Amino acid sequence: MGVFDAAWVAAMLAAATPLLLAGMGELISQRAGVINVGLEGMMLFGAFFSYWAATEVDTIWGAVLIGMVAGMALAAVMAFFSINTNADQIVVGIGILILGIGVTSSAFRDLFEGRPQIIIEPMERLEVPWLESIPFFGEAFFRQRPVVYIAFALLPVVWFVLYRTTWGLAIRAAGDLPDAAETAGLSPRKIRWAAILTAGAMSGLAGAFLSVGEVGIFLNRMTAGRGFLALAAVIFGMWRVSGLLWACLLFGGATALQRRLQGLPELPGEVWVLIATLAGATLAYVLIRRGVDWHNVMSLVTTMGLAAIGVTALVMAILEPNISLPSELWLAMPFVLTIVALAVMGPRAAAPRYLAVPLIREHD
């Protein structure tokens, strides 16, 4: 299997978990009409305050709960300014992000600077009886930390709530037809408030998983752009639960791969095969679903670029040259993949019609 072994699959699932948690909250928020650029700040709040709580309380789950509450507290600030004052959601989100970075950095310095690094015992891996002994699948899927199981178990719950319940219909109405929702006696403002608070709680849980759930420490800006990856995953997934899942797995797989490749002296041949496969699959999708507009420069560049990448990667897989790439390139790989994914999928995405549009006409 080379680099794509059971350990890589397990690392992919773990890397996808915080993206999935924050992404599910963001999906609910955007379906209600609020785009939350401050997702990263809420994740940082969850990471720091859960770590701080873990140094004060005896239970790790209590610390995780405090991290979720911290995420909700910052989400309440986002909700107040973007809903009650009708401020621009993008501007407010950027402010929330800066606030999250500033508060956690200064609080960490004031509380822990000059003291020995406190390392919290992270969550133990939960091995599923009988299943954990299955070759490959046991190590890959059934020896994970509890939050990983929780994240993937929440996926069908979120889908059911959004598409099979009255509450889900109200959420989607707040983002697509707020006037109709108001006529039906619902308050789009209150729905958006609840959606943003949900996103805050999920982001706080994602941040808590990063700090006390997985590594047992807190570092400044340890979310490292995961909030933006979760935001991109919602758009890349075209505002669907299934699309969000595949996007998070893709980004999580890229993150796990770059960690693995940093320790190798040269690029293995199976990576070139993967690049060729992804480029070919993307090119097939573009040709089948979108076609080639011979009069559109960007369409031609995208098509020719994907074909060139696929052919080049296939040649590299056959020749297997001794190539070593700098670690900085691997660190940037998930974000480069995000840009490519949004460039390919973004034009076809159908966003909620009132996404980022303030509800000025409603009077509660």
Predicted structure pTM score = 0.89
Contact partners, residue 268, CB within 8 Å, separation at least 6:
2, 3
**pLDDT tens column, 12-45:** 999 999 999 999 999 999 999 999 999 999 999 9
Quick: pLDDT tens for 293-349: 666 666 677 778 878 888 888 888 887 777 776 766 766 776 777 677 666 655 555
What's the whole-number mean pLDDT along residues 82-99? 93
Q: Output 287 or 151, whichever has higher pLDDT.
A: 151
The predicted pLDDT at position 260 comes to: 82
pLDDT at 35: 93
pLDDT, position 292: 62
Over residues 109-127, the pLDDT tens digits come to 988 887 788 888 889 898 8
* Among 213, 191, 275, 203, residue whose Cα is nearest residue 234: 203
